[in-house]
Amino acid sequence: MAEINAISEEIQKELEQLAEKGLALLSLSETTPPQEIVAAITELTRDYRANQRLMDDDVIYALGALLGWQYVKGLNWHWGSVVWDFDEANGAIGVLNHDNSLFNNPIGWMDNIMVSEGGVPFMLSYNMIAAGQTPVFEPNSASGLY
């Protein structure tokens, strides 16, 4: 079971500031279409991994927050705070779809991608969601989609 709450104004502002840093890292602006921003995040992440470069935590946070904002702007998702199974240690801030059935923690996802050996599926995931090709879960379940 998932407990879903709105994020505070303070956290919202922090996420906005992180996203602004992400845009600066990519030399993009707020007017850049979401799909282009996701593509740029994907490309930069692939470049880091191909060259075996470590991504600083501040870069991970900035790009992760920026990725989350693209779900908000381009896919009509929203930020939320989720706790699963009434366990505060089992909670995260991330983006959710319209009925809160799907959840993504973009900062955590960015971090996981940087330490994994798999692909960099940011663009694929974004396009699949945009095309309506996602699994169906119960409303308010905040089921992870990465």
Domain parsing of the chain, residue ranges? 2-144
pTM: 0.95
CA–CA distances in Å: residue 78 to residues 3, 56, 62, 70, 97: 15, 26, 18, 10, 7
Q: Are strands 102-104 and 78-84 parallel, antiparallel or unpaired?
A: unpaired
Q: What is the CATH number of domain 2-144?
A: 1.20.120
Give the tokens for residue 55: 């991504």
Where does the pLDDT of residue 31 fall: very low under 50, low under 70, confident under 90, or very high at 90 and above?
very high
Report whether pLDDT(87) > 90.
no
Place of tokens 């996701």: 38
Mean pLDDT of the chain: 96
Per residue in 104-142, pLDDT (tens digit) is: 999 999 999 999 989 999 999 999 999 999 999 999 999
Report whether pLDDT(54) > 80.
yes
* DSSP-derived secondary structure letter, 100: S
Q: Where are the alpha helices (DSSP H) in the chain?
A: 9-26, 34-50, 57-75, 106-115, 122-130
Nearest-angstrom CA–CA distance, 136 and 126: 16
